Each structure stands twice: as structure tokens, then as C-alpha cells.
Structure 1
Amino acid sequence: MAEKLATIGFDADDTLWHNERFFRLTQDRFATLLQDYADPDHLMDRLLQAEKRNIGQYGFGIKGFVLSMIETALDVTGDRVPGSVIRALVDAGQDMLQHPIELLPHARDAVTALAKTHRVILITKGDLIDQERKLAQSGLGDLFDGVEIVSQKTPTVYAEIFNRLGNGPETGLMVGNSMRSDVVPMVEIGGWGVYVPHGLVWEIERAEAPAGAHKYQAIDHLGELPALVERIEAG
């Protein structure tokens, strides 16, 4: 007899609501502002390298992204970037922090349906204040039995959360759009990792699927998640 799932974890950004597209729009603005100093491909490569360097200090989220853009602007201009460009980048970050939340298709229905039958939790990484703002605006907050805003999503972090808020990772499921952060670490500790693709993927979040892993599944959209949970529990 298949063991019933006890706890279902949801990622937030680009799983429940749009996020990456706002970063892409700001990157386009960044490229326009710096077009006299660097071609777009070179600029984006320098920005990505800055983000990778800075994650350990700034963490994930808009504030670290803006600081990485400013650092990159200083680097590619030899510290001669105009103050007006710095101001425009700060303003762009403020706009991102105030942008209204737009839920992805099926997000509300999937969380609502599964909250009736399982313990559901939100596990997201990023800036605490910004993630709390987005959750409040989403209207989904009351559906979750727990909310975890973490600095990294690792096997150790998932094990601690699913042990504390569930019956361990073996009876847990994590669904998200990041193979690297949402799926692979959960599968590594014996839980179910469900990949739901989003059209835009941040380069840092790319990873290979855990091919051949019994507890790895992929769905086209969140509307398919309740039926997948039923199939898993039916064995």
C-alpha cells in the first residue's frame, strides 16, 4: 500500500506568481542605460558573474540584484558611470519592489484543493520583507499551514522543514519551477520533487533533471498537481 503524502511544499516566485519577467525587463533597461559602455551580451555576462559572487553576501532578491547592477555599471565604466544612471537603477529596483502580484494560471485552485486534504507549506528564498509583501498581496497566505523564507534551498534545509512541519521528507512533496532549488535537493533526501516549468529561468537556477529517480515527476502546470498527488498516493 502506498504511503499517504503528509506535507506538500510550494515554491513561490514563478511557481505561484510571476517574478522573473520583471527582472528581465529591468535587465533590458540596464542594457539601454549602459549601451554606450558595453554591448548587451557582455554586460549581461558581467552582471551574471556579479550576481554569482554576491549571492553569499546579499542573498537572493531584488535588493541584491540592484546592488549587482550598480557594481557592474561601475566596473564596465571604470567607475565613471553617471549619477543619473545609478539613480535610474535605484528607481528600477523601487519599481520592482512595488509591482503588483499576478498569480500564475491554476495557482489558487491547486493550493486551495490540496489544502483541504494535506498540510501545505510555502518554501521560498529571497528578501524577507519583499516575500512577505508578495504573499500578502497574493491572497493565498491563509491557505498555508506554514511559511518558510530561507536564504538557500538545500537538502539540509528541506530535511529540517519537512521534519518540523511534516512527518519527514519521505512523506513530503515539493513543487516548483527551479530544478536546482525546488526539485533536486528534495529528491536527494528521499522526498518527491515535482517540476512545473516556467518560460523564463534564471541562469543560476538551471540544473539537470534527476533522470531515473522514482520520486521525480514533471507536470505542465499546477492544474495537474492534485491529480498527480492522487496517483502518487494510489501507488
Structure 2
Amino acid sequence: MRLYLSSYRLGASAFRLRKLLKGGRRAAVIQNALDFIPAEARRAYEANIYDPKAELADWGIEAEELDLRDYFGQPHTLKEALAKIDLVWVVGGNAFLLRRAMRQSGFDRIIGELLREDALVYGGFNAGAVVAAPSLQGIDIMDDPRQLASGYDDVVIWDGLSLVDFSIVPHYRSDHNEAEAAERAVSFLEKSEVPFQPLRDGEVIIVEARNVTLLPVLPEAMRRSA
């Protein structure tokens, strides 16, 4: 199993993502955590502020969007699409909406199989990292579990993908508008005695087989030369 879980965007250790890929360059970008935002606003944001495909391209990774809504009720077709890529990159947004998309498309079952076969890398930030945990309990402090978009089931899914055995709290003590909510989520998980890992923006969790490593923020020169 190979995982790259970031608090914000690629974080400060993208060179490690390249190493995880072992020469692979094909990526599918999943942005369903943003489906509650109107399409026009999303296109404007991607064109003027942040495009995950462009960020990956800066590191030599060729990315195309994979919309899980196109595969609702079609898990076999989704598995065929995922068989052609080296990296699934799941962006931030609403973790509960993303989790619904993963359930309705069958992604949540397929990704476990592909990771056990070491067929690809699962990576993501914010919501994309959060759903790797066993549960989304506490994340409702940061994301609205009732957030919906057209075509989505309204049942809240509380279980995560269980790719790691701890919860993940992004934007912890960071210069981000969700930092205060992240503090509250951490307090909740501490009181609940739930294993968790808070992530500051820039930090990344790497999983290789059974090895789990928290990567701190490195200076730019060290990142590019590593």
C-alpha cells in the first residue's frame, strides 16, 4: 500500500510523491468533494487561483479529471478506468460529500483492492486525506455532513476507507480559515480517545506498506534537490 496524505494541496514533500510513484506519471484527479459548488464558480477558481492538474504537472505528473458521478452505479467501468492510472489524487472540499461519491460509484471498495495489489498510489489533501481514516466522527465539526449536490444520496456515511488506523485533522494551527474548526476537532478526538494525527499545512503523511511517516515542512531548496 502506498499513500500520500496532505493537509493542503501537494504540501511540502511532493518529491516524495514522485518517489512513491516509482516512475509512474498518469494521474486521475477526483474533485467530487467540491460538487456542492456551482460549476461556473469552480471553473473560474481553477482558471484563476488553483488547478490541481497544473500543480501535478509541475512535478512531471500527467493528470486528467475523473468524475465519480460518471460512474454512479457502474463500479466495473470505474475499475477499468482506474486500472489505467498510477495515482489517484483526491482534492479537498466536503469530506461527507466525497464519501458519498465514493460509495455510490463503488470507489470505496475498488481502491482497497488496487492498493492491496500495489497497483497505484492513493493521494489527497484535506477531504481527500480525511476519508482515508476509519471514521469521519469529529470531522462534522469542520464539514457539514448534510451538504448535498444533485444526484447524491442523502444518507450520511460516517465510516471512512480505513486505509490508515487513525483519524486525520487537516489545517491544524495553520494560516487557513478552517484552523479554528480544526482545533475543535482535535479537542473532540482527544476527549473521545480516538487515535488521530493533526496535520499542519505543508505536512504530509506517507504510508509505504506498514510504515507510516509524518513529513515536516522542509525548506524549498531541500524539497527540489531531494
Scaled by the length of structure 2, the TM-score of the pair is: 0.39
Larger radius of gyration: 1
Normalized per residue, the structure richer in strand is 2
Scaled by the length of structure 1, the TM-score of the pair is: 0.38
